[in-house]
Amino acid sequence: MHYRKIDLEQTSDYFSLNKKTPFIATGPCAIESIEQIEQSIDFFSSNHINYIRTFPYKVRTSPYDYQGIGDDILPTIKKLKIKYNIKTIAEIYSQKQLEKCIDTIDIIQIGTRFMYHRELLSDLGKINKPIILKRGFNATIQEWLLSAEFYLLEGGHNLLLCDRGIRTFENSHRNSFDITSILAVREMSDIPVIVDPSHILGKRDGISKIVKSALVAGFDGFIFESHPDPKNALSDKDQQLNFTQAAELINDINNFYKKLL
């Protein structure tokens, strides 16, 4: 199989990978209120994090769990994005949502459950909308890269892959970290690959160790979850970092990365 080359310079530029720093994005699992998201954006942008999770919709396994704040928050996100000069990231999973979010969300996350949504990937490719394409929890590397092809084939070239763990027989953590995925992707493709340690572990403990091992293995950065008050979060409360822990992690990542250069 021949995989398409991407415009690595443009992608690196968009995701700030040219400066030889890892990509770092964070923010709450889901938006819960105007105060919660503004507090998060204010804190992280003043800590030099310009890629921030601003999720109006939340993909949940159960229809009885918190589904996100919904469309009404979009004008607020737009205002905050301009005020703080950040790039917003959110998962969307339908063309209807895409239409509503197109000017508000800069980077569309395609989540693990929607890696196979070829029609959406093709539509995003046609308009070269920046995306983060997560690995399906049961997808091989080849299937993951082939999903990326649906985007690339239509002319899209602004994308990151994100490994967020896969489902194995092991259930001590939410997922299993396939640290070898970076080696396999690098043999076939030049698309940068980041890691989501929050959804791999499902808990706060161990995130710092996992991100360091990911840097050693050659991954290009991270997206992790943080919340002003994780214990009372409406989703994923066990894995979100509070702001002090998140700032420490960001420091750790940057210092460790410098040592590897």
| Interaction site with ligand PEP (CB under 6 A) | 29, 59, 91, 111-112, 134, 164, 196, 199
Rounded least distance, CB 42 to Mn ion, Å: 21
Residue 171 CA from chain centroid, whole number: 23
Q: Which of 6, 17, 29, 37 binds Mn ion (CB under 5 A)?
A: 29
Report 214-243 residues binding Mn ion (CB under 5 A).
236
Contacts of 170 (CB under 8 A, 6+ apart): 176
111 binds, among ligand PEP, Mn ion, none (CB under 5 to 8 A by kind): ligand PEP
- Cβ neighbour number for residue 152 with a 10 Å cutoff: 21
Rounded least distance, CB 59 to Mn ion, Å: 9
Rounded least distance, CB 115 to ligand PEP, Å: 8
* CA–CA gap between residue 24 and residue 16 (Å, rounded): 9
Binding flag, residue 132, Mn ion (CB under 5 A): no
Contacts of 29 (CB under 8 A, 6+ apart): 53, 55, 58, 198, 225, 227, 233, 235, 236, 239, 240
164 binds, among Mn ion, ligand PEP, none (CB under 5 to 8 A by kind): ligand PEP
Q: In one letter, which amino acid is 69?
A: I
* CA–CA gap between residue 88 and residue 70 (Å, rounded): 16
Rounded least distance, CB 239 to Mn ion, Å: 7
112 binds, among ligand PEP, Mn ion, none (CB under 5 to 8 A by kind): ligand PEP
Question: Which of residues 58 and 157 has its CB atom nearest to Mn ion in the complex?
Answer: 58
